[in-house]
Structure 1
Amino acid sequence: MKILQLENRGVFRLSGPEAFSFLQGLVTNDLNLIKEGHAVYAALLTPQGKFFYDMIIFKDGDDLLLDVEADSKQDFYRRLMLYKLRADLTITDISDTHHVFAATEQPSSGIFAPDPRHSDLGYRGITDHRPEGTALSLPDYENLRLRCGVPDGSRDMEREKYFWLETDAERLNGVSFTKGCYIGQELTARMKHRTNLKKRLVPVSSTDESLETGADILTESGKKAGTLRTVSGTHALAYLRLEYIGDNLSLENGTAISIID
Structure 2
Amino acid sequence: MSQTVTFAHLPSRSLIALAGPDWRSFLQGLITQDVETVAEGEARFGALLTPQGRLLYDLFVVPRGDGAWLDVEAAHREALVQRLTLYRLRAKVEVAADDTPVSVLFGGDPQDRAGWVRDPRLPELGWRGYGVTAPPGATLATEAEREAQKLRLGVPGPADWGTERTYPIEANFDLLNGIDFKKGCFVGQETTSRMKRRGTIKNRMLPLVVDGPPPAPGAEVLNGELRAGEVLSGGEGRAIALVRLDRALGAPLTVDGRPARVEVPDWMAAAVTEFAT
2:244 pairs with 1:241: yes
Rate the CA distance shift 1:82–1:204 in 2: closer, same or farther, 3 A.
Answer: same
State the alpha-carbon separation in 2 of the partners of residues 137 and 255 from structure 1.
30
Is the deviation greater in 169-178 or in 237-246? 237-246
Indicate which of 139, 142, 149 corresponds to 2:154. 149
State the alpha-carbon separation in 1 of the partners of residues 236 and 144 from structure 2.
8
Deviation at 1:9, TM superposition (A): 0.7
The CA deviation string for residues 200-229 of structure 1, in whole angstroms up to 9 with x for no partner, is 11122223334333221111x222211111
Task: Find the residue that maps to 2:161 and give its secondary structure.
Answer: coil
Matched residue type, 2:231: L
Task: Find the residue that maps to 1:260 and give its secondary structure.
Answer: coil
Mapping 1:149-228, distance limit 5 Å? 149-153=154-158, 155-194=159-198, 196-219=200-223, 221-228=224-231
Which residue of 2 is the match for residue 131 of structure 1? 134
The CA deviation string for residues 108-151 of structure 1, in whole angstroms up to 9 with x for no partner, is 25421221111111111222x43333302334322220122222
- Report percent identity of matched pairs: 34
Deviation at 1:69, TM superposition (A): 0.6
2:103 pairs with 1:101: yes
Contact kept in structure 1, 2:215 and 2:256, CA below 8 Å: no
Indicate which of 87, 96, 103 corresponds to 1:92. 96
Task: Find the residue that maps to 1:31 and give its secondary structure.
Answer: coil
Which residue of 1 is the match for residue 17 of structure 2? 13
State the alpha-carbon separation in 2 of the partners of residues 81 and 139 from structure 1.
32
Contact kept in structure 2, 1:11 and 1:67, CA below 8 Å: yes
Contact kept in structure 2, 1:216 and 1:226, CA below 8 Å: yes
The alignment's TM-score, normalised by the length of structure 2, stands at: 0.87
Deviation at 1:100, TM superposition (A): 1.0
State the alpha-carbon separation in 2 of the partners of residues 35 and 48 from structure 1.
30
Matched residue type, 2:216: E
Contact kept in structure 2, 1:50 and 1:163, CA below 8 Å: yes
The alignment's TM-score, normalised by the length of structure 1, stands at: 0.92
Contact kept in structure 1, 2:7 and 2:141, CA below 8 Å: yes
Matched residue type, 1:197: I
The CA deviation string for residues 65-92 of structure 1, in whole angstroms up to 9 with x for no partner, is 1100111111111111111112111111
Contact kept in structure 2, 1:39 and 1:57, CA below 8 Å: yes
Deviation at 1:107, TM superposition (A): 5.5
Deviation at 1:62, TM superposition (A): 1.8
2:246 pairs with 1:230: no
Contact kept in structure 2, 1:117 and 1:150, CA below 8 Å: no
Contact kept in structure 1, 2:9 and 2:142, CA below 8 Å: no
State the alpha-carbon separation in 2 of the partners of residues 107 and 68 from structure 1.
26
Task: Find the residue that maps to 2:261 and give its secondary structure.
Answer: strand
Paired positions, count:
256
Task: Find the residue that maps to 1:205 and give its secondary structure.
Answer: strand
